[in-house]
Amino acid sequence: MTKSELISALSAAHPHLNARDVELIVQTILTEISTALSRGDRVEIRGFGAFVVKKRDARQGRNPRTGSTVAVSEKTIPFFKAGKELRERVNAQVSGAHLPGTHLSRSKRG
Amino acid sequence: MTTVTRAQLVEHIYSQVGLSRHESADLLESVLEMIVSRLEQGETVKLSGFGTFSVRQKGRRVGRNPKTGIEVPILPRSVLVFRPSQILRAEVNGESTEGLATESDES
């Protein structure tokens, strides 16, 4: 599924919203996660997962073609760790375990 | 370092779109649920400019309880992997995202 397919599917599920708003919602969520990570913040969505940034130290890398050493500077990597429910749901068919009632559990609007 | 949670995401949707907080919260859940339900079916979800979520099949292997040293079989399983897009990687490093084409929606 691509972003545009996600937007179409959401529009179909929420017919009272226009497609432009649905697109704005999806984009707002993604932009906010990206912005938070850029600030070095973490984003934690219970049941779904957590987005964090990890620091990678500077290192001596190698150009795989020539074998010459190149300095790789320190950098930050976005990282996603799946939450428990997501992990279990993704794994459900393989293990054959049926997990009753594992919908992204979230008390209906607190 | 602070943590962004559902509440902040809902606030952003609320302020960007003309929806009530209640509806904003519902829509956020709807977006997440739709992504999860596709992943559950083994489908890959590509969000251009952000990253790709995909499900990887892992084979059976022998693991070891690190505390006791006892061998335990690890059964075949499916795990989720997230690959951040070039744009997200650049943003997180404070680099310019100019010139990085939003990877288009095709695979």
A contacts of B11 (beta carbons < 8 Å):
none
Residues contacting B95, CB < 8 A, separation 6+: none
Question: Cβ contact (<8 Å) for B92 and A94?
Answer: no
> Domain of B87: which CATH number?
4.10.520.10
Residues B52 and B27 in one domain: no
Residues of B in contact with A106 (CB under 8 A): 6, 29
Looking up residue A18, the CATH number of its domain turns out to be 4.10.520.10
State pLDDT tens for residues B46-89. Answer: 999 999 999 999 999 999 999 998 999 988 999 999 999 999 99
> What is the reported pLDDT for B45?
97
Nearest to A78 by CA among A24, A35, A16, A22: A35
Give CA–CA dist B24/B12, Å, rounded. 9
pLDDT band at A93; cut points 50, 70, 90: low
Query: For the segment A27-75, what is each residue's pLDDT rounded down to a tens digit?
Result: 999 999 999 999 999 999 999 999 999 999 999 999 999 989 999 999 9
ipTM score for this prediction: 0.85
Residue B105 lies in a domain: no
Could you tell me what percent of chain A has a pLDDT over 70? 84
Decide if A74 is inside a domain: yes
Q: Is residue B58 one of the residues assigned to a domain?
A: yes
Same domain, B92 and B55: yes
Q: Is residue A91 part of a domain?
A: no
Query: B94: domain range?
Result: 44-62+72-98
